[in-house]
Homo-oligomer: A and B are copies of this chain.
Amino acid sequence: MLSVHILYPKTEDSTFDMDYYCSTHMPMLADALGDACKGWGATAVGSGAWEAIGWAHVDNQEAFDVAMKEHGAKIMADVANYTNVAPQLVVGEVAK
């Protein structure tokens, strides 16, 4: 199982609309992944180095790559609708 974490850095003037993220952006990602999406979630941090963390479990790297190739541009274009910082994508294998 592939794990995709999305880290949003906190900066002096960073903004993050968690309502939009959970109601629109992450469902957009989940829709793009279709049956390959095995769950997703989000954490509001808002202190220290990070504004927020999102995550999704995806069947495998290929399914993620296929979805990103087809829908990645739309998903990335949506980022400006909820934050002014650049997400850091962290992709790995679920160990547990």
Contact = CB atoms under 8 A, between A and B. Distances in A.
Interface of A: 3, 5, 7, 18, 21-22, 26, 40-46, 48-50, 52-53, 55, 88, 90-96
A87 to B, nearest CB: 13
Contact of A93 (B5, B44, B48): B44
A92 B53 contact: yes
A36 B50 CA distance: 24
A57 to B, nearest CB: 9
Chain A binding surface, main DSSP class: strand
B94 A41 contact: yes
Contact of A49 (B45, B46, B88): B88
Contacts of A46: 92
